Amino acid sequence: MERLLSGIRVTRRRALREETYEALRKAILRGRVKPGQRLKEERLASEIGTSRTPVREAFHKLEQEELVIRLPRGGFVVREWSRSDVEEIFGIRSVLESYAACVATEKIDDVKLTLLEDKLRESEECLKKGDTEKLIQLNTEFHDILYKSSNSRKLYHMINNLRDYFYRYRVAILGLNGIPQVSLRDHRKMVAAMRKKDSAMVEKLVREHIMRGKEIVLREFEEGNV
């Protein structure tokens, strides 16, 4: 059976609690722990060589985030996602990310614009090679540069937190035939508009980009592919 929390090597109680929470949260959001899977305190505590307390505390935080559900007779199970969850997350993302891109357009400098263009060139090379894993990484890096350019740490933190929820869907989307090409086309348009300091156009392009992704995910969701 796969070890969910392997690699944790900390001793301070607070650090251990946070590491346990982050490792379990990532395992759920990235699909290593499947919806409907039961999580056992004893097993997870044994993996990291600690008491059940940090694991129990992690479960409580995950319950607040609606990632796990408490079972009537004790223990927790990974929550199944619904169509409304997908619609809600993408709806919030479309507002936050389009706004961040709009702000970033007013503040971004030539150095960061060049970095964005470099990511596009690297992505095109990965696409030719069929390297989907690297393409996903570059996609993340592109958006990181874009949203950090808003110079708002609070906004970036909110966006990044929501993008964690989207990770497994991003993998599914970029693995579909023709979708990476569309994504790259969108990114090129964004950068071109940013070069022109057309913040309204960038905001529109980012919102359309995200909502297109939502429709693809909903389609795949309904067909049971994600």
pLDDT higher than 90, residue 51: no
> What kind of fold does domain 83-222 have according to CATH?
Four Helix Bundle (Hemerythrin (Met), subunit A) (1.20.120)
pTM exceeds cut of 0.75:
yes
Token representation of residue 127: 């696409």
Number of Cβ within 10 Å of residue 197's Cβ equals 11
Q: What is the C-alpha to C-alpha distance for residues 189 and 166, in angstroms, rounded to an integer?
A: 23
Q: What is the C-alpha to C-alpha distance for residues 59 and 54, in angstroms, rounded to an integer?
A: 9
**Closest Cα to residue 50, out of 84, 23, 80, 87?**
23
Instruction: Please give the CATH architecture assigned to the domain spanning 13-78.
Output: Orthogonal Bundle (1.10)
pLDDT 10s digits, 149-171: 999 999 999 998 888 887 777 77
pLDDT higher than 80, residue 173: no
Helix axes 199-222, 179-195, angle to 10 degrees: 170
Q: What is the C-alpha to C-alpha distance for residues 195 and 114, in angstroms, rounded to an integer?
A: 10
Query: Could you tell me the residue ranges of all domains in the chain?
Result: 13-78, 83-222
pLDDT 10s digits, 86-137: 899 999 999 999 999 999 999 999 999 999 999 999 999 999 998 888 988 9
**Distance spanning both ends of the chain, measured CA to CA:** 23
Mean pLDDT of 184-203: 97
Token representation of residue 18: 């946070």
**Closest Cα to residue 213, out of 79, 65, 98?**
98
Average model confidence (pLDDT) for the chain?
A: 88
pLDDT for the residue numbered 7: 54
pLDDT higher than 60, residue 12: no
pLDDT for the residue numbered 14: 59
Q: What is the C-alpha to C-alpha distance for residues 156 and 80, in angstroms, rounded to an integer?
A: 27
Number of Cβ within 10 Å of residue 52's Cβ equals 14
Mean pLDDT of 5-12: 54
Q: What is the C-alpha to C-alpha distance for residues 226 and 221, in angstroms, rounded to an integer?
A: 5
Q: What is the C-alpha to C-alpha distance for residues 38 and 75, in angstroms, rounded to an integer?
A: 7
pLDDT higher than 90, residue 34: no
Token representation of residue 150: 């808003």
DSSP state, residue 4:
T
